Amino acid sequence: MGEWTCFICKNKVVEGQRFTFIPGKGAVHVECLNKKVLSSPTPDKVAILDANEVLLYTIVRLKEAEKSAESDDIKKVLSSIRKSVEKSAVDLAKIMEKWI
Ligand SMILES: [Zn+2]
């Protein structure tokens, strides 16, 4: 994993933490993102942030599952699922970009 810095709190993003990439801004912890976006909450923001949390949690768990799986074919299936969830997280990041 590369070395990234959260563009809100300026601390490092550490393996296992939930984070996302905001287009044009960079890496951000989910907690920092939530705090910033919810400084002026709307139902749309709450809905998207909630969905984002679920996806980011899923990505972390799928990475762990990939590591603990034994056979290559199972690792491949888990990796492919994770990549499709990551694509969905990018869709959400594009929406959240406008709120920060
Ligand atoms: Zn942060």
- pLDDT tens digits along 54-79: 999 999 999 999 999 999 999 999 99
Task: Give the rounded percent of residues in the chain with a pLDDT score beyond 70.
Answer: 98
**What is the CA(77)–ligand 1 centre distance, in A?**
31
What spacing in Å lies between the alpha carbon of 21 and ligand 1's midpoint? 12
Structure tokens at 98: 């406008």
The CA distance from 27 to 89, in Å, is 13
| pLDDT interval class at 45 (50, 70, 90) | very high
Name the domain count of the chain.
1
Distance 70 CA to ligand 1 centre (A): 34
DSSP 70: -
Alpha-carbon distances of 89 from 74, 75, 85, rounded to whole Å? 23, 21, 6
> What is the C-alpha to C-alpha distance for residues 51 and 14, in angstroms, rounded to an integer?
22
Measured in Å, residue 56 CA sits from the centre of ligand 1 at 15
Tell me the CA–centroid distance for residue 13 and ligand 1, in Å.
7
Give residue 15's pLDDT band: very low, low, confident or very high (50, 70, 90). confident
C-alpha–C-alpha distance, residues 80 and 86, integer Å: 10
Average pLDDT in the 31-56 region?
Answer: 96
Domain of residue 36: give its range. 4-99
Residue 1 pLDDT exceeds 70: no
